Amino acid sequence: MEEVNPFEKQIELAKNSRDVLAGFKGTRFTKWFHLRPVADSVTIVTTHPDRPMRGVSVSKTKLKEAIEFLDDCIATDGNTIDWKKIEAAGYNVGKGFERGRENAEFPYQAKMINGLQDNRQLIETLGAQNLYFTASEVVFRRGHDGGQEKIDIVAHDGAGRVFFFEMKAPENDNDKPVEQVNEYLKLYGKPGMRNRVFEDIISVYPQNPVTRFDEYIGYAVVGYGDDLISCKDTEYPGIKLLTFRV
């Protein structure tokens, strides 16, 4: 009997989300929001500095309506968002887009995502011609204990190189981001079932899907700034430590 892909619902939802988002290419929405499809819903995530990495889940049938509404809540300057209007419309279920105490890494993660395609120093440091953001908080279940390995940011260069980024705030010296990235590469960057599922999903992701998977490279990233990046080798081949001046 042929094995059923346990993530086929997520793959179909990613395809649907991609098709919906294609109708909003170049809109104000795509500057500050991206989509994160999961098994039975789509999380709309913002990288706006007022609400970094906050998100709200919507159903497949409500996705187009939600994107239209959020796009309309962004002023013509392209930067000002009417958060009160958004919250009044019910997009604050759970934490939603409400302002609140945030993860210390979220502001840096949001800035990194916003700057991936424009920060020429970062692109040059990675040895790429171009850089495209694809996904945030990519996660699959690991084993029966429910443990998870969650990739903060997935990007690619359009030429077969896929980048995993683990973000850390400069003040956070408790975690071990290099070891975390190493786990991601072991789980998702080598041939096997998880690698096939990962590639099946990311290849149909809503924003900048990956079409070639020739090489996986990991970066542990501390902070985020517009310039002065240090890049150091680590004890793990294929993983580097990036530190920004913030």
Domain membership flag for residue 112: yes
Kind plus residue range of the DSSP H or E element containing 197: helix 193-202
3-state SS class at 106: helix
Domain closes at, from 53, 88, 123 = 88
Torsion, CA 100, CA 114, CA 166, CA 157, rounded to 10: 160
Predicted confidence at residue 78, as pLDDT, reads: 94
- The verdict on 183 and 215 lying in the same domain is yes
- The verdict on 203 and 123 lying in the same domain is yes
- The verdict on 73 and 119 lying in the same domain is no
Which range has the top average pLDDT, 55-59, 204-208, 227-231?
204-208
pTM metric for this prediction: 0.92
Predicted confidence at residue 1, as pLDDT, reads: 31
Domain membership flag for residue 140: yes
Domain membership flag for residue 181: yes
- The verdict on 83 and 118 lying in the same domain is no
Could you list the residue range(s) of the whole structural domain that residue 45 is in? Answer: 8-88
Domain closes at, from 88, 122, 147 = 88
Domain membership flag for residue 3: no
- The verdict on 75 and 133 lying in the same domain is no
Q: What is the band of 187 on the pLDDT scale with cuts at 50, 70, 90?
A: confident
- The verdict on 127 and 171 lying in the same domain is yes
Among residues 81, 84, 13, 10, the alpha carbon closest in space to that of 52 is found at 81
Domain membership flag for residue 165: yes
Domain closes at, from 47, 62, 88 = 88
Q: CA–CA separation, 8 vs 109, rounded Å?
A: 28
Does position 181 have pLDDT exceeding 60, yes or no?
Answer: yes
Among residues 145, 134, 136, 52, the alpha carbon closest in space to that of 99 is found at 52
| Number of structural domains found in the chain | 2
Task: Give mean pLDDT, residues 174-193.
Answer: 88
